Amino acid sequence: MLYLVGLGLGDAKDITVKGLEAVRRCRRVYLEAYTSVLTVGKEALEEFYGKELILADREMVEQEADSLLKEADVCDVAFLVVGDPFGATTHSDLVLRAVKLGIPYKVIHNASIMNAVGCCGLQLYNFGETVSIVFWTDTWKPESFFDKIEKNRQNGMHTLCLLDIKVKEQSLENLMKGRKIYEPPRYMSVNQAAEQLLAIIQNRRFQGEKPEITENTICVGLARVGAQDEKIASGTLQQMSTVELGAPLHSLIVTGTMHPLELEMLKLFSVDSSSFENNACQRTT
């Protein structure tokens, strides 16, 4: 049996009772280590679960999935995922491979950022398509995520922006030379995401457009959702470029049309209540 077990968002104790029971009866336990990160390390998980964990990076899951699954053909194997198992498409691929090989699987769900984001007070059914904001480079500055945010906002919907994670990435030089040397992990902050959005707004204006999203659009920055030191800040997009939310992981919400109750909740987390009042009331129902 292959178990796909969600770990939740905080620490070792966020695993469900059902998930913990599955982990403890498995012979091998893999920890997926590239689509998200917990606030505690591998050692803390091993101590609480009473099991040795094998770190599964992107290369292992995407290129060596068959060897992982062959083990599940002869014994119970658990694949641990921060948040919920289906928060990333890679895990759907793992299920499809298991089915092809005739290996039974069981999914044990948990909280993920996709539903825990409601902690800021915005209603989940008012969210449109979720987007990913990627790190720009000197030669690659995509803007497609901005178009999706604009479309959501035109429809009155909020946008959850998942911010880029770079784990076990190689420099172009090391990649070309086949050297297994990896760059230090990088996690995009709310500040960095806001700065990229502001740059796109300026670029669109330079091209003669009038962006739906401006420096004064109300946004929400979230950090370490589900952890004890969770942090939430609401304010304008401009304010999000300077707000200090600390360690990863961060997420950003660009609001659409807000119900008065949503607005009242966001005021609890406002960076500056005066500017919040001036701008947020422009898009309420």
Start-to-end Cα distance in the chain: 50
DSSP letter assigned to residue 127: B
Work out the percent of the chain whose per-residue pLDDT is above 90. 67
pLDDT of residue 40: 76
Residue 279 scores a pLDDT above 90: no
- Dist CA 262 CA 127 (whole Å): 12
- Dist CA 179 CA 203 (whole Å): 37
Per-residue pLDDT tens digits for 35-80: 666 777 888 999 999 999 998 877 777 677 777 888 888 899 999 9
188: nearest Cα among 227, 218, 161: 161
pLDDT of residue 161: 97
pLDDT of residue 165: 87
Is there a binding annotation on residue 57?
Answer: no
- Dist CA 55 CA 66 (whole Å): 16
Is there a binding annotation on residue 272?
Answer: no
pLDDT of residue 174: 60
**Arithmetic mean of pLDDT, 183-197:** 91
Is there a binding annotation on residue 112?
Answer: yes
Domains defined along the chain, listed by start:
2-111 (3.40.1010.10), 114-268 (3.30.950.10)
Per-residue pLDDT tens digits for 208-264: 999 999 999 999 999 999 989 999 999 999 999 999 999 999 999 999 999 999 999
Is there a binding annotation on residue 113?
Answer: yes
Work out the percent of the chain whose per-residue pLDDT is above 70. 87
The pLDDT-based confidence of 5 (bands split at 50, 70, 90) is: very high
* Tokens at 35, concatenated: 């689509």
- Dist CA 212 CA 135 (whole Å): 22
Is there a binding annotation on residue 84?
Answer: yes
Is there a binding annotation on residue 20?
Answer: no
Contact 171, 183 (CB under 8 A): yes
* Tokens at 282, concatenated: 């422009």
**Arithmetic mean of pLDDT, 114-142:** 95
pLDDT of residue 280: 47
